Amino acid sequence: MGLFKFLKEKFSKKTSETQEIKVETKEEKKEKESLEKYDKGLEKSRKNFSNKLEELAKRYKNANQDYFEELEEILIEADCGVSFTINTIENLLEYTKEKNIDNPKEINELLVDRMFLNYLKEGEDIKNELTFDHKPVILLMTGVNGVGKTTTIAKLAKRYINQGKKVMLVAADTFRAGAKEQLTIWADRLSIPIVTGNDNEDPASVAYKGTKKGIDECFDLVIVDTAGRLQNKKNLMEELRKIYNVVTKLSGINPECFLVIDATTGQNGVLQAKAFKELINITGIVITKMDGTSKGGIILAIREELGIPVRFIGLGEKDSDLEEFDLDKYLYGLCSSLIKDE
Ligand SMILES: Nc1nc2c(ncn2[C@@H]2O[C@H](COP(=O)(O)OP(=O)(O)OP(=O)(O)O)[C@@H](O)[C@H]2O)c(=O)[nH]1
Ligand SMILES: [Mg+2]
């Protein structure tokens, strides 16, 4: 069975089932809420992507060269990236020619299949959730200015507190005025400890203090906030490497290192990821502000060009608006108008 049909069975059925009066288990309720978040958060992208595909399929009775050119444009406009788009279209052309397929609706289904397969083939399928096989897990949050690092820290802290973990925060952004206070407000709200430094203190020294406390006091998770830095500012990037090295040396293990990318910045996000990846070992990407963009294809572009897994996705400003990245739900959120309409 193709992925398109699989998603249809997996999720459309669930949506209709929920109409019936039936006692839901806690797990089912959580899954339903999660799917709804994806559905709502990807609404703009869906309009830009699958509604256009649907409309394209209506306009062409049979797929021809013009059809594939328009399809290519839709993928580029959705921010899937040039490389992903070209590979996918070439792939589709080859396959449809070989199998004699020219029905646009069928090609839409094949496209969803390709999006899924391409994501998987680009890298190992690692678990997105943090794993706590050693204590403490140190998580560095990095990224350029204003992408949502601090907000994502609060969301992740809440997530793991709810899972019963002992969590603390470290304000290693000693550069931006108000950064320490912003993180302290979140720590107070979540009732967890925070390590801060003086204004303009070396961020690596604050990261050191935080890591040490995390080790000494047996925390499960220490999340380190870092200042926003543009990838082309050499001294700031060096400073990040220093934080990374200090934490790695003290804890004796490579930290989890998330790069936060704002989905609304488009292909610039790919350039950011390339630069950060050269400097430190990025173990995952968090895509934020997915709810504010119509270009949800950025996840596919990043995966195609960097192979780094997207671990979490931000779908709103509240501390509950963070979901573990799930390829099925993402593709369903992006394409559900095609799938439901079948
Ligand atoms: N809609 C939406 N807004 C978000 C999301 N994540 C963060 N934001 C908003 O983005 C803005 C910037 O968030 P911060 O968390 O302060 O960003 P930052 O990367 O820490 O910023 P600097 O520390 O200045 O580099 C805030 O207004 C957040 O509410 C998201 O997933 N969706
Ligand atoms: Mg911040």
Q: Which tens digits make up the pLDDT trace of 74-89? A: 999 999 999 999 999 9
Q: How far is the CA of 128 from the centre of ligand 2 (A)?
A: 22
Question: Is residue 10 pLDDT above 90, yes or no?
Answer: no
Q: How confident is the model at residue 124 (pLDDT cuts 50, 70, 90)?
A: low
Output phi, psi for 244, to 5 deg.
-60, -45
CA distances from residue 261 to 14, 142, 149, 276 in whole angstroms, order as listed: 31, 9, 9, 11
- 220, pLDDT greater than 80: yes
Beta bridge partners of 324: 312
Amino acid at 14: K
pTM of structure: 0.92
Cα-to-centroid distance, 180 and ligand 1 (Å): 15
CB 140 within 8 A of CB 226: yes
pLDDT for position 26: 84
Q: Looking at residues 290-310, what average pLDDT do you find?
A: 91
Tokens of 243: 């934080």
Share of the chain above pLDDT 70, in %: 94
How does pLDDT run across 261-296, given as a tens digit for each residue? 999 998 899 999 999 999 999 999 999 999 999 999
- Strands 310-314 and 322-324 come out as antiparallel
Q: Which of 134-138, 160-164, 306-310 has the lowest mean pLDDT?
A: 306-310
Phi, psi of 139 (to 5 degrees): -120, 115
- Per-residue confidence (pLDDT) for residue 128, from 0 to 100: 92
CA of 227 to the centre of ligand 2 (A): 6
Residue among 151, 286, 320 to mutate when testing ligand 1 (max atoms within 8 A of CB): 151
> 261 C-alpha vs ligand 2 centroid, how far in Å?
13
225 touches ligand 1 (CB under 6 Å): no
Which residue has tokens 């969590």?
167
Cβ–Cβ under 8 Å, residues 171 and 194: yes
- Using DSSP's 3-state secondary structure scheme, residue 268 falls into helix
Whole-angstrom Cα Rg for the chain: 22
**pLDDT for residue 73:** 96
Assess whether pLDDT exceeds 60 at residue 17.
Answer: no
Higher per-residue confidence, 209 vs 26: 209
| Structural domains of the chain sorted by starting position, each given as residue range(s) with its CATH number in brackets | 3-16+32-124+334-341 (1.20.120.140), 137-325 (3.40.50.300)
pLDDT of residue 285: 96
Give me the pLDDT at residue 15, please. 55
Rounded to a whole number, what is the distance in angstroms from the first to the last CA of the chain?
15
Q: Are 304 and 81 in contact (CB under 8 A)?
A: yes
Asked whether 149 lines ligand 1 (CB < 6 A), one says yes
Which atom of ligand 1 is nearest to 182's Cα? 16
Give tens-digit pLDDT for 226-257. 999 887 888 889 999 999 999 999 999 999 99
Output the residue whose Cα is nearest ligand 1's atom 13: 148
| Cβ of 211 below 6 Å from ligand 1 | no
* Nearest ligand by distance to the CA of 149: 1
Q: Round the average pLDDT of the chain to a whole number and report it.
A: 91
Query: Of all residues in the chain, what percent carry a pLDDT higher than 90?
Result: 75
User: What 3-state DSSP class applies to 47?
Assistant: helix
Pairing of strands 284-288, 256-262: parallel
Beta carbon of 289 within 6 Å of any ligand 1 atom? yes
Q: Provide the pLDDT for residue 307.
A: 86
Cis status, amide bond into 136, omega within 30 of 0: yes
| Statement: residue 199 has pLDDT above 90 | no
Between the CA of 267 and the centroid of ligand 1 the distance, in Å, is 19
Q: How large is the average pLDDT for residues 184-206? A: 95
- Span 160-183, mean pLDDT? 95
Rounded mean pLDDT, 104-112: 92
For ligand 1, whether the C-beta of 316 sits within 6 Å is: yes
Of the pLDDT bands very low, low, confident and very high (cuts 50, 70, 90), residue 22 is: low
Q: Kindly indicate the confidence band of residue 6, based on its pLDDT and cuts at 50, 70 and 90.
A: confident
CA of 147 to the centre of ligand 1 (A): 5
Contact 228 CB / ligand 1 (< 6 Å): yes
Number of H helices, E strands in the chain: 14, 8
Find the 61 Cα to ligand 2 centroid distance in Å: 51
The mean per-residue pLDDT over the stretch 330-340 comes to: 86
Q: Is residue 41 within 6 Å of ligand 1 at its C-beta?
A: no
Residue of 199, 207, 212, 267 whose CA lies nearest to 241: 207
179 in contact with ligand 1, CB cutoff 6 A: yes
Q: Are 259 and 273 in contact (CB under 8 A)?
A: yes
Report the distance separating Cα 284 and Cα 185, nearest Å: 26
Distance 6 CA to ligand 1 centre (A): 35
pLDDT value at residue 200? 83
Q: Is the pLDDT score of 341 beyond 70?
A: no
Q: Which atom of ligand 1 is nearest to the CA of 173?
A: 23
Q: What is the mean pLDDT of residues 100-116?
A: 92
